[in-house]
C-alpha cells in the first residue's frame, strides 16, 4: 500500500490537475508557496498542518467530503512520521486462525487464471481484512511475483474514497510517476488496467462500499488479480467470484483465544474458553476483543470475563478493547440503512424464536406489502446484519440481536415497543389457532378477530409446517399474552391445538402451552377449562414416561371437573390414571378397575375418541392382569370401530390397537401370530411424534422373532430400536436395547 504521505501528494496533484491549475496558480489562490506544494506532491512533505489543508481545499473549491478525505490523508501522513513501509502487503497477525477452506478457494482461483476478481464479503467483525492480508502473504510469493498493492476504500465511513482517487493511490503504488497519471477518470482507468495487464500483481481493495466504487478498480480478463473485501456481496459486479465469510467454528474460536492468550493463561481453562467463544457468537472481532482484554489484565481468568459477558444487558459494553468495539462495527452498518430498514432490524429483536419469514416480519413493522418486507430482509442479509438460515428464513446473530435491542430501546417509546410486541404475540396465537383447526373435529371455533389477519393455511400440510416452523415463536408469545391478561385467547389456542399435539407428542412446547392454559383457566375462574388443561398436562408427562407426574395431574383434574359437572374431563382423568397405573408398580386389578370407570363415563358422554382410548387401555390392563385372551377379545372388538371425526385419529388409534393385539399374542406365546401382527404395522404414518412408540414396537417385535428362531431378524429390529431410542434421548431404553443386542449376538455366536 502506498505511504499516506505519498497518497496525500498523489491525490493533491490529481485534484489540482482536475481543477486545471498550475502550481503557481494554486499557490496564489491558497497562499501556500510553490516549493511547499511541490514537496507535498512529490511526497517529501509527510503531512501538512490542518490550516494548510483548509487553505488548499478552499482554493480547489472542494466539497465537504473531498475536504475530509484530504484532511484524513494529511493526518495519517503526520502520524506515520518515519519512512513508509514498502507497498506490498497488508498487515498480517501472528495468531491468524482458521479459514482454511477460504484460503484454499482463493489459492485455487489464483492458480486457475480464469477468474481475475474475488469479492470476500460478510458481516462486520468477521475478519475480512485479516483474511485478505493472510491470503496476500501466502499467495504473493507463489502466484504474484510482481507483488501486492492495496487501498483502503473506507466503504463503511461517511465519506467513502471515490474510485477516481483510489486509482491515483493504486497507480502510485504500482510505480507510475505522478505526472503520468491522467486527470480524466476514464483515461485513468485505462492506464490502470493496462498496467495490470502486463504484471502478475495482487490488488487488495479493502472495505468497498458498493459496485460503483469497486467496478472501475477491477482488472481486464488478463493480468492482475483483485481481491475485494466488503460487507456486501456486490451482486452487481460482473465476472467475479464471491466467498462469504461467516463465523468461526467452535474449535477455531477456542484456538484463536488460546493463541492470543498463550498456553499459561489457558491451561485447564477449556470450559471457560469454550463459554467465552459461545458468548462471542464465534465472531472474530469479539474474540479478538476478549483476548486483548484478558491479555491486558493478567489477574483475570477467562471464567471471570465469561461471567461478565453472560449478562446480555452488559455484553456489548464489555466487548470493547481500545478502539475495537463490536457495537461500533455494527453501528457502521446500521447507520447506512434507510429508516424503514432500521425499523425492521430493531423490531426483529422482539422475536421470541431464532429465525423468521417475511410474514411475521411484516407484522412487526405493520407493513402491508410482504414483497417489500422480503426485499428489506434480503438487503439486511446483503449488509451482513441478517443471516439467511434456510431459503426464506432469516435470523439475527446473537450480538446483532443485542445491538438491535439497544437501538429499539433508544429510538422507540416503551409504549410503542410494548404495543408492537403484543400485536406480534396476538397474531402468533391467532395464527396457531387457525392452523390447529385443521386437526380438530369439524365445528372447532374460529380464532378471535384481530387488526392484522392471521396466517390462514390452505391445507393440513401447510398448517402442520407452519406450526412446526414457528413453534418457538407461538410458544414465546404465551408469556406476553399472559402478562397482558389475554387469558381467554391463550385458552382458545390451547384448545385448538389439543389434537394436533397428539401428532408431535415429543415437542417440549406442549408442556409450556398447557401450563399457560392452566394459569389462564385459573385466572378466569373456569373449573372445566382448568380440568381440561390439567388433563393435557397429564398427557405431556405420560408421553415422556413421567407417569407419577401424569397421575398427579390427572387426579388434580378430577376436583375441578367434578365441580364443573364435566363428565368428559372426569373420564379423561381416569383414562390417564389408568395409563399411569399400567406403567407404575401397581396391582393390575387397579388398572382394570380405573379403566372400566373411564369406559363407563365415556359411554355416558358418547365421546367416541375417548371410548377408543379407554377400551384399549382396559384391554391392556386385562393383559397385565393375566387375562390375555380377554384382552385380545377386547382389542379385536375395537378393530374398524369408529373413533370419532378428529382428522387422522382413526388411523392412529387403529395402528396402536394393532400393536396392542401383537402384545396380547406375545402374552399368549403365539409367537408366529405375533410376528405377523407386528409386520402388519409398526407405527402410525399420520403422526410425526411417534419415535418411542415405534422403538417399543420394534423391541417387542424382536422378542417374537427370537422365539421363532430368527435371531438375525431380532438383532436387526433391536438395532433399529436402539437408534430410535437414542434419537429420542431415552438413554435408559437405549442402554437396555444395547444390552439385549449383546445378549443376542452372544447367543447367535454360540
Query: Which residue blocks in 174-215 are alpha helix, DSSP H?
Result: 185-197, 211-214
Helix (H) or strand (E) holding 50: helix 50-60
**Within 10 A of 388 (CB to CB), how many other CB atoms are there?**
14
* Three cell numbers written together for 101: 477452506
Q: Which of 199-203, 402-406, 529-533, 651-655 has the highest mean pLDDT?
A: 529-533
Percent of the chain with pLDDT over 90: 48
SS (H, E, C) 548-599: HHHHHHHHHHHHHHHHCCCHHHHHHHHHHHHHHHHHCCCCHHHHHHHHHHHH
Region label for 639, one of left (φ > 0), alpha (ψ between -120 and 50) or beta (otherwise): beta
List the grid coordinates of 319.
466487548
Task: State how far the alpha carbon of 4 is from the alpha carbons of 43, 121, 488, 660, in Å.
Answer: 9, 26, 68, 83
% helix, strand, coil for the chain, step of 5: 65, 5, 30
To which residue does cell 478498480 refer? 217
pLDDT at position 550: 97
The tens digit of pLDDT for each residue in 468-518 reads: 999 999 999 999 999 999 999 999 999 999 999 988 888 999 999 999 999
H or E segment to which residue 244 belongs: strand 241-244
With a cut of 80, say whether residue 89 has pLDDT above it: no
The mean pLDDT of 156-160, rounded to a whole number, is 82
> How far is it, in rounded angstroms, from Cα 430 to Cα 432?
5
- Reply yes or no on whether the pLDDT at 81 is more than 50: no
Is the Cβ–Cβ distance between 171 and 191 less than 8 Å?
yes
Residue 198 scores a pLDDT above 90: no
Higher pLDDT, 342 or 38: 342
How open is the CA angle 360-363-365, to the nearest 5 degrees?
Answer: 115
Asked if 280 and 305 touch (Cβ cutoff 8 Å), the reply is: no
Q: 394: which strand partners? A: 356, 388
77 neighbors 4 (Cβ within 8 angstroms): yes
Is residue 253 predicted with pLDDT exceeding 50? yes
Per-residue pLDDT tens for 434-460?
999 999 988 888 999 988 899 999 999
The top-scoring range by mean pLDDT among 132-136, 581-585, 600-604, 730-734 is: 600-604
Torsion-angle region of 720 (φ positive above 0: left; ψ -120 to 50: alpha; else: beta): alpha
- Percent of the chain topping pLDDT 70: 95
Predicted pLDDT at 745: 87
At residue 29, the pLDDT reads 86
Higher pLDDT, 125 or 604: 604
Q: Return the residue matching grid coordinates 375417548.
A: 610
Query: Which of 105-109, 218-222, 422-426, 592-596 comes out lowest in average pLDDT?
Result: 218-222
Q: Is the dihedral of CA 296, 301, 307, 310 positive or negative?
A: positive
Residue 76: per-residue pLDDT: 66
Question: What is the Cα–Cα distance from 123 to 383, expressed in whole angstroms?
Answer: 7
pLDDT of residue 23: 83
Q: How many CA atoms lie within 13 A of 737 on its CB side?
A: 27
Helices (H), 236-357: 250-261, 263-266, 270-279, 284-295, 302-309, 312-318, 326-335, 339-348
Evaluate if residue 133 carries a pLDDT over 70: yes
Mean pLDDT (the chain) is 88
Contacts within 8 Å (CB) and 24+ apart, 360-367: 360/424, 360/427, 360/428, 360/470, 360/473, 361/394, 363/423, 363/424, 363/427, 363/452, 364/420, 364/424, 365/340, 366/423
Q: How far is CA 689 from CA 223, 305, 503, 532, 694, in A?
A: 60, 41, 6, 22, 10
pTM of the model: 0.80
| DSSP at 215 | G
User: How many angstroms separate the Cα of 582 from the Cα of each of 501, 538, 551, 571?
Assistant: 22, 15, 11, 17
Distances (CA, A) of 581 to 22, 398, 586: 101, 46, 6
| CB distance 535 to 576 below 8 Å | yes
Find the helix packing angle between 567-583 and 547-563, rounded to 10°.
160
pLDDT band at 110 (very low <50, low <70, confident <90, very high): confident
Predicted local confidence at residue 501, as pLDDT: 93
Tell me the average pLDDT across 359-381: 90
Amino acid 3: pLDDT: 44
Range 21-43 average pLDDT: 82
* 665: pLDDT strictly greater than 90: yes
β partners of residue 390: 393
Give whole-number Cα distances, 489 to 229, 605, 743, in Å.
50, 27, 54
Please name which of 414, 561, 425 lies closest in space to residue 485, comparing C-alpha atoms. 425
Could you read off the pLDDT of 683-694 as tens digits, one per residue? 555 555 567 778
Asked if 229 and 120 touch (Cβ cutoff 8 Å), the reply is yes
- Which pLDDT value is given to residue 64? 77
Q: Which of 192, 227, 169 is nearest to 3 (CA)?
A: 169
> What integer pLDDT is reported at residue 88 of this predicted model?
37
d(CA 157, CA 209): 9
Residue 408 · residue 348 · CB < 8 Å: no
Task: Average the pLDDT over 265-273 and give the result.
Answer: 84
Say what the pLDDT of residue 435 is: 96
Amino acid at each position: 500500500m502506498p505511504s499516506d504521505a505519498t497518497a496525500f501528494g498523489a491525490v493533491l496533484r490529481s485534484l489540482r490537475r482536475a481543477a486545471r491549475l498550475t502550481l503557481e496558480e494554486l499557490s496564489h489562490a491558497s497562499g501556500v508557496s510553490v516549493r511547499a506544494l511541490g514537496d507535498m506532491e512529490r511526497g517529501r512533505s509527510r503531512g501538512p498542518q490542518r490550516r494548510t489543508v483548509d487553505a488548499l481545499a478552499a482554493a480547489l473549491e472542494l466539497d465537504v467530503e473531498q475536504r475530509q478525505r484530504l484532511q484524513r490523508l494529511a493526518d495519517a501522513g503526520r502520524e506515520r512520521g518515519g519512512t513508509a513501509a514498502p507497498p506490498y502487503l497488508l498487515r498480517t497477525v501472528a495468531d491468524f486462525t482458521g479459514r482454511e477452506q477460504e484460503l484454499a478457494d482463493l489459492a485455487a482461483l489464483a492458480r486457475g487464471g480464469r477468474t481475475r476478481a474475488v469479492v470476500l464479503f460478510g458481516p462486520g467483525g468477521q475478519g475480512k481484512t485479516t483474511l485478505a492480508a493472510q491470503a496476500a502473504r501466502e499467495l504473493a510469493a507463489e502466484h504474484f511475483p510482481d507483488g501486492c498493492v492495496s487501498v483502503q476504500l473506507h466503504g463503511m465511513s461517511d465519506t467513502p474514497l471515490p474510485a477516481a482517487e483510489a486509482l491515483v493511490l493504486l497507480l502510485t503504488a504500482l510505480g507510475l510517476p505522478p505526472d503520468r497519471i491522467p486527470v480524466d477518470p476514464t483515461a485513468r482507468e485505462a492506464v490502470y488496467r493496462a498496467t495490470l495487464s502486463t504484471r502478475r500483481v495482487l490488488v487488495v481493495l479493502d472495505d468497498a462500499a458498493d459496485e460503483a466504487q469497486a467496478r472501475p478498480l477491477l482488472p481486464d480478463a488478463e493480468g492482475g488479480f483483485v481481491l475485494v473485501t466488503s460487507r456486501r456481496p456486490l451482486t452487481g459486479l460482473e465476472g467475479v467470484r464471491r466467498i462469504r465469510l461467516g463465523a468461526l467454528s467452535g474449535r477455531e474460536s477456542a484456538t484463536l483465544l488460546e493463541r492470543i492468550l498463550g498456553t499459561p493463561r489457558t491451561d485447564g481453562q477449556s470450559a471457560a474458553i469454550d463459554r467465552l467463544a459461545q458468548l462471542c457468537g464465534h465472531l472474530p472481532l469479539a474474540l479478538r476483543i476478549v483476548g486483548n482484554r484478558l491479555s491486558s489484565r493478567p489477574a483475570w481468568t477467562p471464567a471471570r470475563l465469561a461471567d461478565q459477558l453472560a449478562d446480555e444487558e452488559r455484553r456489548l459494553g464489555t466487548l470493547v478493547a481500545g478502539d475495537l468495539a463490536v457495537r461500533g462495527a455494527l453501528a457502521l452498518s446500521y447507520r447506512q440503512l434507510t429508516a424503514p430498514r432500521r425499523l425492521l432490524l430493531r423490531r426483529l429483536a422482539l422475536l421470541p424464536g431464532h429465525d423468521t419469514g417475511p410474514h411475521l416480519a411484516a407484522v412487526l413493522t405493520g407493513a402491508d406489502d410482504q414483497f417489500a418486507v422480503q426485499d428489506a430482509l434480503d438487503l439486511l442479509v446483503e449488509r451482513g446484519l441478517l443471516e439467511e438460515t434456510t431459503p426464506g428464513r432469516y435470523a439475527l446473530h446473537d450480538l446483532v440481536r443485542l445491538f438491535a435491542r439497544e437501538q429499539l430501546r433508544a429510538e422507540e417509546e416503551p409504549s410503542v415497543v410494548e404495543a408492537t410486541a403484543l400485536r406480534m404475540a396476538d397474531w402468533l396465537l391467532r395464527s396457531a389457532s387457525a392452523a390447529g383447526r385443521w386437526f380438530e373435529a369439524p365445528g372447532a371455533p374460529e380464532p378471535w378477530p384481530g387488526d392484522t389477519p392471521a396466517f390462514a393455511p390452505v391445507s393440513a400440510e401447510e398448517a402442520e409446517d407452519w406450526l412446526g416452523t414457528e413453534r418457538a415463536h407461538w410458544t414465546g408469545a404465551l408469556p406476553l399474552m399472559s402478562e397482558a391478561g389475554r387469558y381467554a385467547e391463550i385458552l382458545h389456542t390451547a384448545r385448538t391445538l389439543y389434537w394436533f399435539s397428539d401428532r408431535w407428542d415429543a415437542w417440549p412446547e406442549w408442556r409450556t402451552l398447557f401450563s399457560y392454559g392452566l394459569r389462564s383457566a385459573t385466572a378466569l375462574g373456569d373449573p372445566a377449562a382448568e380440568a381440561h388443561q390439567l388433563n393435557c398436562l397429564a398427557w405431556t408427562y405420560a408421553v415422556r414416561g413421567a407417569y407419577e407426574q401424569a397421575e398427579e395431574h390427572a387426579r388434580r383434574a378430577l376436583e375441578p371437573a367434578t365441580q364443573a359437572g364435566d363428565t368428559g374431563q372426569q373420564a379423561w382423568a381416569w383414562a390417564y390414571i389408568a395409563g399411569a397405573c399400567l406403567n407404575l408398580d401397581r396391582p393390575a386389578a387397579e388398572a382394570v378397575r380405573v379403566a372400566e370407570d373411564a369406559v363407563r363415563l365415556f359411554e355416558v358422554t358418547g365421546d367416541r375418541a375417548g371410548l377408543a382410548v379407554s377400551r384399549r387401555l382396559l384391554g391392556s390392563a386385562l393383559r397385565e392382569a393375566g387375562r390375555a385372551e380377554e384382552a385380545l377379545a377386547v382389542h379385536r372388538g375395537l378393530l374398524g370401530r369408529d373413533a370419532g371425526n378428529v382428522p387422522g385419529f382413526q388411523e392412529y388409534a387403529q395402528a396402536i390397537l394393532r400393536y396392542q393385539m401383537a402384545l396380547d399374542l406375545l402374552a399368549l406365546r403365539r409367537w408366529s401370530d405375533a410376528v405377523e401382527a407386528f409386520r402388519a404395522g409398526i407405527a402410525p404414518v399420520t403422526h410425526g411424534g411417534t419415535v418411542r412408540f415405534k422403538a417399543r414396537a420394534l423391541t417387542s417385535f424382536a422378542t417374537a422373532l427370537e422365539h421363532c428362531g430368527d435371531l438375525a431378524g431380532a438383532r436387526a429390529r433391536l438395532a433399529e430400536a436402539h437408534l430410535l431410542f437414542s434419537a429420542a434421548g431415552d438413554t435408559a431404553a437405549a442402554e437396555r436395547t444395547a444390552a439385549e443386542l449383546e445378549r443376542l449376538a452372544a447367543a447367535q455366536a454360540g
